[in-house]
Structure 1
Amino acid sequence: MMQALHVVTLFYALTSLGQNAHGGEIINGKKVPDDLMLYMASVQNNQGHVCGGFLISEDFVVTAAHCDKGKPTSVVLGTHNLKKINNATMRYSISRCKYPQYKDAKFGDDIMLLKLSKKARLDNRVQPIQLPKAEIKLKDKAKCRVAGWGFTKTGGKSVDKLQMVEVPIVKLEECRRKWKQIRFELPNNVTCAGGSGTNKGFCKGDSGGPLVCGGMAVGVVSFNMKNNCDYPNVPNVYTDTSRYLQWIKQILKQKRC
């Protein structure tokens, strides 16, 4: 009975983990200017946008491994408005490279690389973002940004124009303590920012988008609390990209999964 209760608790506690995870749901954000965040990618299947992502080289986009449930087939680069897509120049077919040890977002390792079918056209609308060069420890309350397409409040509606919001880093020890209060042990290799203690962050979605600090993609949107997106009682959780640099470099070097 306790095991069943734990599973139910996790079902309600975690978001962005199901096939219905859809869009980037930025809370209390603002529209991203066209000349900023040129690395943002819309990860799509045949029905449209399913997750966010970010370009790290001419060949690869990073997203969350749990986005694989949406069976993405392409990424769109070069537009912040999903109603303005030129399929001939902005859409790229992909092959999916999930982190080998990934099982479920609640166990961590929630990261995936998407190999583009052809090199991205880098110009004044498309540019990659840097990753950390080594494992990093972010300062408590450091100001970072998260971006995505979709809902702007709990139970709201998705939007077509990319939104971003500033979020503070939450010390990992504090983040673990708050999640433990709702009987959930955070996995390893994660970073926390926004959510608890602020009215800014992401909601049920925004999966795979970047947490950007100092011009670097230090995290990948993974999960948060489901029932209260506007004022959750626990911090938002991201995959720590700096812990996966060796794997990422290997895939980029061999240019295949």
Structure 2
Amino acid sequence: MSLTMQLLILVLLPVAFLLPTGSQAGEIIGGQEVKPHSRPYMAYLEIERKGKTYICGGFLVAENFVLTAAHCNGDKITVKLGAHNIRKQERSQQKISVHHRIPHPQYKETTLNNDIMLLQLADRAKLNRWVDTIALPRASERVKPGDMCSVAGWGDTSTESESSPATLQEADVVVMPDPACPRKPNGPYSNYKSSTMMCVGDPKTRKDSWKGDSGGPLVCRKTAQGIVSWGPPTPPGVYTKVSTFIPWIQATMRRLQP
């Protein structure tokens, strides 16, 4: 892996908080704790990979499907729904194992293009006031630069220290024009692709996703328009553009539904 990719990839946040040298991942910077259970679609993912445990975010899109980032894949994934404080056993929580992991067939680990994955749950979630689905956009629906959206996760709250909160955090972030993530050779956004990615976060605000937020939703007007994917230590960050993948999501869910 090149030095550029080591610096950029939104790696998962290990539960032991030991990150590979020089790597970065998806937590909320400059945000605040959410009102408990105000985002009932949020999923907390525990990922086992080669004997280590990592965390990612995700979001419930049907009773038995969670959407997340393809780079959150592992040997085994367990999903926790209805959580606010993930260090407590809240009565609202539902813990469900993943039956099938379906990363996008064109996902590229080297460029993080097509960084999207569907998780089919082993059991259907029980929908209630703590656990519910979020709407997906229409195919090719566009979010305009200047639109205000929000991102949430249990990832780190600082780029300087490994400080992972117990409770769900959120931040408001603005959609940037594609040129704000310039594709300069050897630059931090050299792998940016406007057809499958979104450039999000004003560098002046310093509000951003960070380590451990990978796979969580970018929510614009109550719709999951993006997925936390990758980026440098300061905004803008890069999100998977969900609207591009609606035909694949729908076809995959239809194929796997019993």
Matched residue, 2:36? 34
Give CA deviations for 1:121-177 in whole Å, capped at 9, x if unaligned: 000100100000221221112110000003111133101100000000011133235
Give distance in 1, aligned partners of 2:122 and 2:192.
Answer: 35
Identity across the alignment (%): 37
Equivalent residues of 1:208, 1:220 under 8 A apart: yes
Map residues 62-81 of structure 1 onto 2, 5 A cutoff: 62-68=67-73, 70-81=74-85
Code of the residue aligned with 1:239 in structure 2: it is T
Equivalent residues of 1:150, 1:160 under 8 A apart: no
Give distance in 2, aligned partners of 1:22 and 1:119.
Answer: 33
Cα 1:151–1:25 change in 2 (3 A) is: same
Aligned-pair CA distance for 1:9: 2.1
Code of the residue aligned with 1:38 in structure 2: it is P
Aligned-pair CA distance for 1:184: 1.4
Choose from 169, 172, 176 the match for 1:166. 172
Cα 1:108–1:84 change in 2 (3 A) is: same
> Which segments of 5 or more consecutive residues in structure 1 lack a partner in the other structure?
none
4+ residue runs over 6 A deviation:
none
Map residues 173-188 of structure 1 onto 2, 5 A cutoff: 173-176=179-182, 181-182=187-188, 184-187=190-193, 188=195
> Which segments of 5 or more consecutive residues in structure 2 lack a partner in the other structure?
none
Cα 1:159–1:24 change in 2 (3 A) is: farther
Give CA deviations for 1:11-65 in whole Å, capped at 9, x if unaligned: 1233326974898610011111124110000011356651000000001000100
Map residues 1-257 of structure 1 onto 2, 5 A cutoff: 7-16=2-11, 20=19, 25-45=27-47, 50-68=55-73, 70-85=74-89, 90-94=94-98, 95-104=100-109, 106-156=111-161, 157-176=163-182, 181-182=187-188, 184-187=190-193, 188-194=195-201, 196-225=203-232, 229=233, 232=234, 235-255=236-256
Cα 1:43–1:182 change in 2 (3 A) is: closer
Give distance in 1, aligned partners of 2:4 and 2:196.
Answer: 22
